[in-house]
Amino acid sequence: MPRRIIALIGLLRKETYHILRDRRTLAVITLMPVVQVIIFGYAIRTDVEHVRIAIVDPTPDPSTMALRGRFAATDTFHIVAVLRRAEDVEPLLQRGDAQEALVFERDFATRLGRGLPARVQIVVDATEPNTGSAIQAYALQVIQQYEREAGAARPAVQIVPQVRMRFNPTRESSNLFVPGLMAFVLTIISSLMTAITLTREKETGTLETLLVSPLRPWHIVVGKVAPYLLIGFVSVIGVIIEARLVFSVPLRGSLLLLLAEGLLFILVSLSLGILISARTSSQRVAMFGALVGTMLPTMLLSGFIFPLESLPWPLQAASLIVPARWFVSVARSIMLKGIGITYLWRETLVLMMMAIALLGLSTASFKARLD
Amino acid sequence: MNGDAAIVAKDLTRSFGRFVACDHISFDVRPGEVFGFLGANGAGKTTAIRMLTGLLKPSGGQATVAGFDVYTQSDSIKRHIGYMSQRFSLYEDLTVAENIRLYGGIYDLADAAIRDRTASMLSRLGFEHAAHEFVRAIPLGWRQKLAFSVALLHEPRIVFLDEPTSGVDPVTRRQFWEMIYETAAAGTTVFVTTHYMDEAEYCDRISIMVAGRIGAIGAPHDLKRQCGVNSIDEVFVRLVRPAATQPGSEA
């Protein structure tokens, strides 16, 4: 038995050489998660900046000027045009020169002075619904703040009530998506790593030599998974630091627990990669399999982008076998709610079972080559 | 059945679904013999080798390799055979010494033994200076020789060479065959597949597989005489070409 351990150590050393000597790949796989989180992070964020707004002010006077000044003073809005007639705003919106228009009613100041409700219409380009509702909410915020600070007892500016976001939701949306994004990026990278290296050995014929040797299938699986577990772990640490520093996501629970869960999740993804490559013959097919097998389910069925509750039940059921679904929930709970293992044992157990099942299946599929 | 034989196959069969890749093949390989295993692509050569090396379970028939049963003792078989795959079994991003050490460890050699054998192997090959070079940096012919030596590192009783000389220049091929002879002379049985018919002439005995069966088996000169031709190439063509009569029954 110790002899077999020596053989295993030899395998691990060999794999470490492969990794360390391919510096470019090593750099790509360790930095990729961090870079991707930044790129996707800014891309997916629902916050909107530099909103191009047009203002229609038929009867300019100090009160409309004051409200216009509020808009000009924010970082969020950029006033692209000030018009007299409401009809003129239409072409701007159609061309996309303006994303939003603020239309004062005629006699706005007069009505305001008399204590009557004065109306402001907000016209929003809702081609992209999320952006539309976000920038509408921003505008409402500015108006309401003005209204409050103007100190009028009665509603001085009457507007249509709307479901609203907080004024600075940057942190809010980051908190929600960063844990999901971590799962997304880590699962893709991890499964790709093992899928590619194992099929490379298949293509070069070295795997055959290992299979003919007295090594057992589990040696080969462990020899592949263990070194990449270490790399994956470095990525986990990287994205956790990034979540904190770049996206200001809090870590309210135990760092140790989050790291442990991250490691477990990496293990599941690596094992998935092994299984995919054990069942495919070329690097290209394995790569495609790893991407399709992790990316789509993780994106659609993990709660990362689309809330699981809003999925139809067959998809909800399908999400149960997506590892990221469990990790996203674990990561959110630890980071945002500060929940400990006592409430996360179920998710942890599921991930463990997935790791065991996937490792078992990939070991078995090496054996299947023998039968 | 010959108990001393290095390899004995009796009605060895393997089918994939309805396709029978190896159809009741029977042959034996004597210890210390250079046995050439010939056949067109798809004739079932690879399937037969995979069964003998423990990579594939037979669907029927019997076989022993180094005296061990392919069904029940594949672990013992794996310890007593060497294997050099046609696609070359060394890691290109490891150095020569690292490759040797890896395979030594896989075959349970002690560190001291690995050191000794590495030194003697490299001096025999004249590769001492290349011990710490990356395999990808050394010429193809050298790599083949090195791969062969690595397959012999654990002193197997039988070594399987799967098209060891494909893509190698004629001089290196000749040198490689000299190594094969030395190996056989030292008592190791060599089971070799090849595409080169001139190489088949170098073998003690050959078998030619045709469509999952053994079409002919025997010493090269016997086969040529039986077919009344001058080269193994012609023997092969007569066996494989569908229009020709089936001389397999004659042989």
- Examine the pLDDT at A155 and tell me if it is beyond 60: no
Range A157-182 average pLDDT: 54
- SS3 call for A120: strand
Contact B31, B187 (CB under 8 A): yes
Q: How many CB atoms lie within 10 A of CB B103?
A: 26
Burial B121-133 (b: 16+ CB within 10 A, else e): bbeebebeebeee
Range B204-221 average pLDDT: 91
Domain shared by A192 and A260, yes or no? yes
Q: Do A214 and B91 touch (CB under 8 A)?
A: no
Q: Do B98 and A17 touch (CB under 8 A)?
A: yes
Residue B179: predicted pLDDT: 92
A257 is a domain residue = yes
Task: Write out residues 6-35 of A within 8 Å (CB-CB) of B.
Answer: 6-7, 9-11, 13-14, 17-18, 21-22
Closest chain B residue to A2, measured at CA = B108
pLDDT band at A45 (very low <50, low <70, confident <90, very high): low
- Examine the pLDDT at B251 and tell me if it is beyond 60: no
Closest-CA distance, A191 to chain B, in angstroms, reads 22
Residue A35: predicted pLDDT: 83
Pairwise CA distance, residues A49 & A45, whole Å: 11
Q: Which tokens sit at B113?
A: 């033994």
User: What CATH number is attached to the domain comprising A76?
Assistant: 3.40.1710.10
Pairwise CA distance, residues B226 & B251, whole Å: 7
Domain shared by A182 and A310, yes or no? yes
Which residues of chain B approach chain A closer than 8 Å at the C-beta? 53-57, 74-75, 78-79, 81, 83-94, 98, 101-108, 160
Residue B249: predicted pLDDT: 43
pLDDT band at B113 (very low <50, low <70, confident <90, very high): very high
Domain shared by A195 and A307, yes or no? yes
Domain shared by A255 and A353, yes or no? yes
A41 is a domain residue = no
Residue A165: predicted pLDDT: 32
Q: Do B98 and A213 touch (CB under 8 A)?
A: no
Q: Judging by beta carbons within 10 Å of its beta carbon (0-12, 13-18, 19+), is residue B171 exposed, middle or buried?
A: exposed
In the Cβ-directed half-sphere of B8, how many Cα atoms lie within 13 Å?
Answer: 12
- Examine the pLDDT at B24 and tell me if it is beyond 70: yes
Q: Do B85 and A205 touch (CB under 8 A)?
A: yes
Domain shared by A129 and A196, yes or no? no
Q: Which tokens sit at A10?
A: 């030899």
Residue A73: predicted pLDDT: 87
Pairwise CA distance, residues B142 & B90, whole Å: 12
Domain shared by A282 and A356, yes or no? yes
Structural domains in chain A (count): 2
- SS3 call for A280: coil
A207 is a domain residue = yes
A12 is a domain residue = no
Q: Is A206 on the interface with B (CB under 8 A)?
A: yes
pLDDT band at A162 (very low <50, low <70, confident <90, very high): very low
- The predicted-structure confidence for A20-31, as pLDDT tens digits, reads as follows 888 888 888 888
Closest chain A residue to B56, measured at CA = A370
Taking the C-alpha atoms of B206, B209, B215 and B216 in order, what is their torsion angle to the nearest 10 degrees?
0
Q: Is A282 on the interface with B (CB under 8 A)?
A: no
Of the candidates A297, A299, A276, the one whose C-alpha atom is nearest the C-alpha of residue A287 is: A276
Chain A residues in contact with B160 (beta carbon < 8 A): 212
Q: Which tokens sit at B29?
A: 């390989």
Residue A370: predicted pLDDT: 52
Q: Do A209 and B53 touch (CB under 8 A)?
A: no
Range B221-238 average pLDDT: 86
Q: How many CB atoms lie within 10 A of CB A49?
A: 12
Among A166, A190, A225, the domain boundary falls at A166
Q: Do A213 and B103 touch (CB under 8 A)?
A: yes
A138 is a domain residue = yes
A248 is a domain residue = yes
Range picked from A40-44, A261-265, B90-94, B209-213 for highest mean pLDDT: A261-265
Domain shared by A215 and A354, yes or no? yes
Collect all residues with Cβ–Cβ distance below 8 Å to A106 and sequence separation of at least 6: A58, A59
pLDDT band at B52 (very low <50, low <70, confident <90, very high): very high
Q: Do B102 and A11 touch (CB under 8 A)?
A: yes
Q: Which amino acid is at B157?
A: R
User: Looking at this predicted complex, what is its ipTM?
Assistant: 0.86
A362 is a domain residue = yes
Domain shared by A146 and A294, yes or no? no
Among A166, A190, A209, the domain boundary falls at A166
Domain shared by A100 and A204, yes or no? no
- Examine the pLDDT at A133 and tell me if it is beyond 80: no
Residue A47: predicted pLDDT: 64
Cross-chain CB nearest to B55 (options A4, A13, A211): A211
Pairwise CA distance, residues A129 & A187, whole Å: 30
Three-state SS annotation for chain B: CCCCCCEEEEEEEEEECCEEEEEEEEEEECCCCEEEEEECCCCCHHHHHHHHCCCCCCCEEEEEECCEECCCCHHHHHHHEEEECCCCCCCCCCEHHHHHHHHHHHCCCCHHHHHHHHHHHHHHHCCHHHCCCEHHHCCHHHHHHHHHHHHCCCCCCEEEEECCCCCCCHHHHHHHHHHHHHHHHCCCEEEEECCCHHHHCCCCEEEEEECCEEEEEECHHHHHHHHCCCCHHHHHHHHHCCCCCCCCCCC
Closest chain A residue to B93, measured at CA = A18
Cross-chain CB nearest to A18 (options B75, B93, B101): B93
Q: Which amino acid is at A51?
A: V
Domain shared by A252 and A281, yes or no? yes
Among A119, A143, A166, the domain boundary falls at A166
A37 is a domain residue = no
Q: Do A6 and B85 touch (CB under 8 A)?
A: no
Chain B residues in contact with A223 (beta carbon < 8 A): none
Domain shared by A144 and A253, yes or no? no
Pick from A363-367, B7-11, B60-64: least confident: A363-367
- Examine the pLDDT at A202 and tell me if it is beyond 50: yes
Residue B8: predicted pLDDT: 94
Pairwise CA distance, residues B107 & A205, whole Å: 18
Range picked from A361-370, B66-75, B166-175 for highest mean pLDDT: B66-75
Closest-CA distance, B243 to chain A, in angstroms, reads 36
- Examine the pLDDT at A160 and tell me if it is beyond 50: no
Q: Which amino acid is at A146?
A: Y
Which one is predicted more confidently, A189 or A355? Answer: A355
Q: Do A370 and B56 touch (CB under 8 A)?
A: yes
Pairwise CA distance, residues A262 & A156, whole Å: 53
Range B53-82 average pLDDT: 91
Closest chain B residue to A211, measured at CA = B55
Domain shared by A213 and A111, yes or no? no
Of the candidates B226, B225, B220, the one whose C-alpha atom is nearest the C-alpha of residue B251 is: B226
Parent domain of A359: 173-370
User: Best mutation site among B51, B81, B102 for testing chain A: the one with the most A CBs within 10 Å?
Assistant: B102
- Examine the pLDDT at A172 and tell me if it is beyond 60: no
Range B154-167 average pLDDT: 89
Pairwise CA distance, residues A317 & A337, whole Å: 25
Q: Do B87 and A7 touch (CB under 8 A)?
A: no
